[in-house]
Chain A
Amino acid sequence: MSVRALLQPRFLWLSLLGVVLIVFPYVHGWPLFDGSIRNLGFFTLEITEFRTFNATMFGVWLLVAMSMNLLTGTSGQISLGHAAVVLVGAYTTGILFDEFGVPLALAVILAGVFTGVVGGLVIGLPAARLSGPYLAIATFSLIITLPQILKLNGINSWTNGALGIGIRPVEPPNLVNDFLGAVTRDAVSLNERQWIYYVTIGTAVLMTVLLWNITRSRIGRAFVALRDSEIGAEQMGVNVPLYKALAFGISSFYAGIGGGLFFVVQTFVAPESLRFNDSILFLVAVVIGGLGTILGSVFGALFLAFQAEVISNLPDWIPGLNNVRDFERLSPVIYGSLLIATILTFPRGLAGIVQSLLSLRRGGGIGAMDLPALSAIRGTLRNLSASLPGNSDADDSGKKE
């Protein structure tokens, strides 16, 4: 790589992000971030040790969000059963480790391969014959039924029925800590939390780069063609059943790895660990984040990692909400409304907004800013005025079929 390439802003930003990710598990011990700033009377900037776990879950959710986004955003295939695929990944890891003594790292990879093959062949191939609504029903029934399947007595010896599978937290290998000790003269050693953080974030970064390359390859372009028009894609020589199966396969591979890591990070999985609501939450995440882009998946993963905390803290931040009883129960209402509002106003999500703003800065002008919100608001106003009494004629003529 030339020096010039190393000085590109994109490269600098990425290296900065890399440094932040590497030092993150230690930040909580640093003077600036341990809450001392708040003691001086400034704003609160406190990063607790618990944030390492948060960030680890972010890595897991990033894999899940990318998996969902590849399938729904890039390839245009809807799946309401994505939580089921993640759950199968978690269970496969657990069973391989618990029953067959497979090393955990290998078990996670095998779980990914297993869900990938199963997702591609068992869901993907039949899905080639099914259009949107039917596919939605099939995947919906999968996630509703999976807990009952996992509780079947016949496979009880593997799945432990309703009790689920648990493991102890993963210790960092001696090799790693010996090496770190030797290099830093015993200044640095990893605990369990920090070790699983690095493993998860490392995997997530690797798989992000991989996905980045996939979406820019022949396969990725075929997926987009499939999404935009199946018949058109076929005319262009895309083998539709093959690429649909591939979309499900690759997506399920990511979901399986994510599920395996979910199990390792949470150290536990049960039939109801992930339910239909989580499937919807994944969908909400990628829609709000931005369909069809990796940036959108990153936003989506942030949403998945922090939505519960943010929503439960809302009453502290917004004064009027203190009086609302059982506020935390409203969280599905909030993310459901967010989902509908996003689809109605910003179908391209946060990533779409960011991209529009960037193109504005590059001198594209306001015209280059594709903000569906503006036209949506205009459209809604027109519809509203049309639906007022006396204007009923305009109601229908304003819309095209």
Chain B
Amino acid sequence: MLAAPPWEDPDLFAQQIVSGIASGSLFAILALAIVMIYRSTDVLNFGQGEMALFAAFMSWTFLTRMDFWPAFFLAILVAAVMGAALERFVLRPVSEAPVLNSIVVTLGLFVVFNGLSLWIWGSQPKGYGPFSVFKGDATCVSDVCIGRLNIGILVVTLIIMVLLYLLFQHTRLGLALRATAQNRTASRLVGIPVGNMLSIGWGLAAAVGAVAGVMATQNLSLTTGTMFAVLLFAFAAAVLGGLDSPVGAVVGGLSIGVIKNLAGTYVPPEVGSVDLLVAFLVIVLVLMVRPTGLFGRRAVRRV
């Protein structure tokens, strides 16, 4: 059964775009976390998805003891402390070593967090369903609808972006963080505690990732395999937007969400499921045609 083309069924098309943006905002948050770490420490964190997963599982445990919002913020807080500690004790020792070493370490984090989640919470899916704030009727304009949960995710994404923007552009801490990302030696010379800034950067990214994790589990059921695909989409988003551009991460995330939904609708079902394949093709295409992505800068290095 082939879906009707956009010019015959514009509502279906519009619906897919809207849902795509909603699901894409999740990828945008996780991509944002990846980009933040990559920008400030030159480390590509493959453990990001699993750290987010771990935080989501923690929030599930907290939820059995308290309301949604306390559980949400507690999980984020714990994730942030964990992220900062990881930077301090695991990543910093390899900061002077070749890129390979730091990638290998984050891969280690990936398996450790995935394994820990499986060990602590088991293989049974943990669904806590949409929390009551996100329940309720969908909002519809003519025939195009958007669920409360999707609105919620979008709003949360917007809030995170605004908060990060304010932090980075309008506080002394943000200034120090940006300086550290740009030139560590110079930052050290003007008295910025560079080590602490790196830890704070990781903590912030882990917190942002945790938000993505908790939000992702609002409509997916929570298993240890949940984050594999989400991480792939987040990487596709980060690559599409440019690995060192936060704006790019968000634009990339939303685009990937839309592309994924459109492919899911308009690729004939006889082909089989293609959602991962689409992300893969986006990554390959961008890397072949324009490795810096839409908003990234080309790195020029002095030998």
CB within 8 Å of B: which residues of A? Answer: 72, 76, 78, 80, 126, 129-134, 136-138, 140-142, 144-145, 148-149, 151-154, 231, 276-277, 280, 283-284, 287, 326, 329-337, 339-340, 343-344, 347, 376, 379-380, 383, 387, 392, 395-396, 399-401
**By the criterion CB–CB under 8 Å, are B115 and A134 in contact?**
no
**By the criterion CB–CB under 8 Å, are B111 and A231 in contact?**
no
Set of chain B residues within 8 Å of A144, measured between Cβ atoms: 228-229, 232, 276, 280
Task: Report the nearest A residue to B232, measured CB to CB.
Answer: A144
Q: Is B184 on the interface with A (CB-CB < 8 A)?
A: yes
- Would you give 14 A-B contacts (Cβ < 8 Å), ordered by A? A78-B99, A126-B287, A132-B100, A133-B44, A138-B287, A148-B276, A152-B274, A332-B114, A339-B107, A339-B111, A340-B108, A340-B112, A347-B97, A387-B88
CB distance from B206 to the nearest CB of A (A): 17
Task: Report the nearest A residue to B107, measured CB to CB.
Answer: A280
CB distance from A230 to the nearest CB of B (A): 10
How many Å lie between the Cα of A390 and that of B90 in the bound state?
A: 23
**By the criterion CB–CB under 8 Å, are B44 and A136 in contact?**
yes
**By the criterion CB–CB under 8 Å, are A231 and B271 in contact?**
no
CB distance from A401 to the nearest CB of B (A): 5
**By the criterion CB–CB under 8 Å, are A343 and B104 in contact?**
yes
**By the criterion CB–CB under 8 Å, are B94 and A344 in contact?**
yes
Task: Report the nearest A residue to B116, measured CB to CB.
Answer: A333
Task: Report the nearest B residue to A393, measured CB to CB.
Answer: B193
CB distance from A321 to the nearest CB of B (A): 13
Q: Which of B38, B88, B96, B235 contacts A400 (CB 8 A)?
A: B96
**By the criterion CB–CB under 8 Å, are A336 and B111 in contact?**
yes
Set of chain B residues within 8 Å of A129, measured between Cβ atoms: 287-288, 291
Which 5 residue pairs are nearest across A and B when measured between Cβ atoms? A332-B115, A336-B111, A336-B112, A333-B115, A340-B108
Task: Report the nearest B residue to A161, measured CB to CB.
Answer: B272
Chain B at the A interface: SS class: helix
Set of chain A residues within 8 Å of B287, measured between Cβ atoms: 126, 129-130, 134, 137-138
Known: A144-B228, A151-B272. A343 touches B44 (CB 8 A): no
Q: Which of A131, A137, A329 contacts B239 (CB 8 A)?
A: A137
Q: Is B103 on the interface with A (CB-CB < 8 A)?
A: yes
- Most A CB atoms within 10 A — which of B88, B92, B98, B184? B98
Q: Is B185 on the interface with A (CB-CB < 8 A)?
A: yes
How many Å lie between the Cα of A331 and that of B119 in the bound state?
A: 10
How many Å lie between the Cα of A396 and that of B239 in the bound state?
A: 32
Interface membership of chain B positions 163-185, coded 1 if the CB is closer than 8 angstroms to chain A and 0 otherwise? 00000000000000000000011
**By the criterion CB–CB under 8 Å, are A80 and B280 in contact?**
no
How many Å lie between the Cα of A399 and that of B196 in the bound state?
A: 13
Interface membership of chain B positions 64-75, coded 1 if the CB is closer than 8 angstroms to chain A and 0 otherwise? 000000000000
Set of chain A residues within 8 Å of B101, measured between Cβ atoms: 343, 347
**By the criterion CB–CB under 8 Å, are A287 and B193 in contact?**
no
Known: A136-B103, A347-B101. A336 touches B274 (CB 8 A): no
